[in-house]
Structure 1
């Protein structure tokens, strides 16, 4: 399932309060604006943008994983049909060979059965090649699906870490515990590294 990236949160209300205080402070000649709240606001906005990108990429890779898995299922059905067709031709070949053996005394009839058997052998070669090609396509589609699913998990991890960083930033703003800012930056950095890994295909 694709992740929903929620940008709006409690931290925004706190930031809005800080913004109102800033405006009222200027109007009434009161206290100067709080630079700490401003930095948190900028950090939160940047993280929200990055998180939205991570979330979009996660949804995109999930869609591709489902597409390739569906492609593999279709090719698998086609391959099974081709192998069934191959088996039917093999049965016709066996009957033709049996007919040739039973009509050995009649050169004309035996030659016809022998020619039919040779025709079925040639047809089986073409059918086998097509079936094996479809099986190869199944393996490739399955591998592509697994790769996209792996990348989806990476993007989801990056999104989650970014959301945690935003929550920590909100707690930092509400509690004024500056040491929490280090935690928020650390988690954000880890999320960025995971996102880079997903972008590079790791």
Structure 2
């Protein structure tokens, strides 16, 4: 720039020049690094939270499938019971082959036992999937709580940067610590 020209500084130019000349603000640098670390940790917590939520939904779906299969077996059981009842009724009717219907009654009783066993196994399997879903959902809530704590810590770090209050910096560390504790509880399924 030659000395013959007229130059007007923009409102932010003074701040940029001041930052360039005196830009060694260690406090702000530490907060920036802490915020970046918290954002990374928060992304990991968010991923885990999403994964456990998906698992809970898949397990819930599997429980519903097994419950439907059990219901189908109970319907089949009921159908065999109805046929058994009709065969028992036929035994007492005059002019029917009572031995034939006694054989059918015995067959239906035998078939019903197998069907009942299968239905009970499917109900037990459904209950196991339901329990697994509930455990995953509990773990998801822990991850969500940890993520929320990290987000609050990041917000406190931003406020710390604006206000330059050291106590807010410690509050941010404390809330981040709570987030890490909650994530540990999630990790260990507590």
| TM-score normalised to structure 2 length | 0.85
- Name whichever of 152-161 and 140-149 sits farther off: 140-149
Alpha-carbon separation, structure 1, partners of 2:61 and 2:133: 9
Asked if structure 2 preserves the Cα contact closer than 8 Å seen for 1:51 and 1:162, the reply is yes
Q: Which is higher, the Rg of structure 1 or of structure 2? A: 2
Please list the CA deviations of residues 60-107 of structure 1 after superposition, one character each: whole Å capped at 9, or x if unmatched: 11111111111122222211111111011011112222223335x87x
Please list the CA deviations of residues 158-196 of structure 1 after superposition, one character each: whole Å capped at 9, or x if unmatched: 000000001111111111111111100000000000000
Say how many residue pairs are matched.
175
Deviation at 1:117, TM superposition (A): 0.9
Matched, 1:179 2:167: yes
Residue segments in structure 2 that go unaligned for 5+ positions in a row: 1-15
Alpha-carbon separation, structure 1, partners of 2:145 and 2:106: 59
Asked if structure 2 preserves the Cα contact closer than 8 Å seen for 1:21 and 1:33, the reply is no
1:16 paired residue number: none
Matched, 1:66 2:54: no
Matched, 1:91 2:82: yes
Deviation at 1:127, TM superposition (A): 0.4
| TM-score normalised to structure 1 length | 0.81
Residue segments in structure 1 that go unaligned for 5+ positions in a row: 1-19
Deviation at 1:21, TM superposition (A): 7.3
Alpha-carbon separation, structure 2, partners of 1:65 and 1:101: 54
Deviation at 1:32, TM superposition (A): 5.6
Alpha-carbon separation, structure 2, partners of 1:80 and 1:200: 36
Asked if structure 2 preserves the Cα contact closer than 8 Å seen for 1:54 and 1:155, the reply is yes
Q: Which runs of 4+ in 1 moved over 4 A?
A: none
- Name whichever of 83-92 and 33-42 sits farther off: 33-42
1:50 paired residue number: 41
